[in-house]
Structures are given as structure tokens and as C-alpha cells.
Amino acid sequence: MGAILLERDRNGIVWFTINRQEKRNAINYEVMDALQETIRMVEKSDEVKILVITGAGDQAFCSGGDLSEFHHLHAKEEAYHMLKKMGTILYSLLTVSKPTVALINGTAVGGGCELATACDFRYARKGAKVGFIQGKLGITTGWGGATMLFEKLPYTRALDILLRAEYMSVETMYEYGWVHSLLSGENITEECRKLLSPYLAQTVSVLRAYKRAAVEKWKNDEFRARFFSEITCCSILWESEEHEEAVRAFLDKS
């Protein structure tokens, strides 16, 4: 079975599931390429109405970048290539002309939170933990996450989340406005479908029109400059000794 599962149901929802439970659904290049291709398909299709991204199992939504695959990246130029690749994918996810949902079935860490932030809606299983913990690894968000967070949340709340660099409950993140709906956990896929049913009643043309109106503000040069400047900043910190030590400690513990 591959690193992702892809399903399109008869209602027009595409379900993109990261299927790497043994790695807590961490993102590697295979997942990146599959997500990029899926976003392109969703953009072009006249049948797809909504894209839902989730993780396999019930333990992890996404634990960010797979450090066991990326640990060989030391120089900032090497890191930048990987960071820009995923950042570009998340920018396309942010601006795709269909509604998108992060169905947070379990823990979301680091880049997993950036992936979720790129989506329009975040529905989360009660009791799950999420964390923009990049600061504790000696780096910043590297896939555009901070830039997106400052766009989507009030300034002080976004800054608080980033500077804390710690795990927070989805209940707290609901109060912050990052999570839009808390799910009971019994059958979160079905709960997600119910939440999306009013949107699915609209035509693809209506969904496209509203989404395009929403994301137009993120398609200008000023926003793109901020978005990719963040990625450059992370690549510089990536080659720092602090980050090297943090990654070594993480891999030793794993």
C-alpha cells in the first residue's frame, strides 16, 4: 500500500489520506508529489467540489516533515530546495479554487500544522494535540505556515502560538479560532460529511467563484514575497548547530 490513499466519492469530495502510520503520517517526497498532483486534479476537475486532507489511523494527522528522510540536508541550499518544494505545494493548496478541509484525526506537529493551516477549514477530533513546535527544533515554520497563520488569525493569537512552540489542545485552538469544529471521535469522517453537506449542495461554479474571491488577496507579489521569505529564513536556520543538535536528539530518541 502506498504512502497516500486517494478516494473520490459520489458527492464530489476528494479524500487525500497520508498513509504512513509507522511514521506518524510524516511527509516525505512521495507524499509531496502525490499532494501536488491531487491539488492540480482538484483545480482542473469540473466534478470535484471539496478536497479533504487527513491521516491514516486515529493517532496522527501529520507529524510534519519526515526528519529520518531529510536529516541528510545540512547546508541551507539543500534545505531550501526541500522547503521551497513543499512551500510551493502549500501555496497552491492555499489558493486552489475549491474549498479545502483538514480533518485532524490525531496529533498534528510542526509542518502538519502548516499543512492544516493552508486549508480553509480545520475540523479536529476532540482530545487531539497540535503544535507549531518548530522553535524547539531551532528553526521556524518553513513551508509558509507563519505567513498563513498571521493571515488567518488575529495577530497576537498567531504570535502566541508560534512563540510558545508547544503542544496545545484542539479545544484551546478552537477558542483561538484555528479549529473550526470539534468532532466527537466516534466517526469523524461521517461528521465531516455532515458539516460539508450544505457546501456540497452548491454547484462547482458557485464554489469556484466564492473561493476565487477569497484567495485573490493571496495571489499578489507582496504576499508571495512574504511567504517565500519565510522559507528562506528557515533554510538559514536549518544549517545552525541548534537545529542539528535537535534533530540528532529526535532521531536518537526515535
CA distances from 130 to 8, 105, 162, 167 (A): 27, 11, 12, 5
CB 199 within 8 A of CB 99: yes
pLDDT digits (tens, 9 = 90+) for 175-221: 999 999 999 978 999 999 999 999 999 999 999 999 999 999 999 99
By CB atoms closer than 10 A (0-12, 13-18, 19+), residue 190 is exposed
CA–CA distance, 193 with 243 (Å, rounded to integer): 40
CA atoms within 13 A on the CB side of 197: 6
Could you give the 3-state DSSP secondary structure of residue 217? helix
Poorest-pLDDT segment among 42-51, 74-83, 104-113, 136-145: 74-83
Q: Mean pLDDT, the chain, as a whole number?
A: 94
Whether 49 and 207 have beta carbons less than 8 Å apart is answered as: yes
Distance of alpha carbon 117 from alpha carbon 210, whole angstroms:
19
Q: What is the pLDDT of residue 242?
A: 85
- In contact, 85 and 140? CB cutoff 8 Å: no
What are the helix (H) ranges across 96-220?
A: 111-118, 145-152, 155-164, 170-176, 188-200, 204-215
User: Sign of dihedral through CA atoms 162, 164, 168, 170?
Assistant: negative
The secondary structure of residue 27, as a DSSP letter, is B
Domains located in the chain, CATH noted:
4-187 (3.90.226.10)
pLDDT of 240 > 80? The answer is yes
Closest CA to 62 of 94, 120, 23, 7: 23
What does the chain come to in residues?
Answer: 254
pLDDT-derived band of residue 254, with 50, 70 and 90 as boundaries? low
pLDDT tens column, 3-20 = 999 999 999 999 999 999
- The answer to whether 120 touches 141, Cβ cutoff 8 Å, is no
The pLDDT tens digits of the residues spanning 89-111 come to 999 999 999 999 999 999 999 99
pLDDT at 178: 98
Question: Do the beta carbons of residue 90 and residue 143 sit within 8 Å?
Answer: yes
Residues 6+ apart with CB under 8 A from 46: 204
DSSP letter, residue 47: S
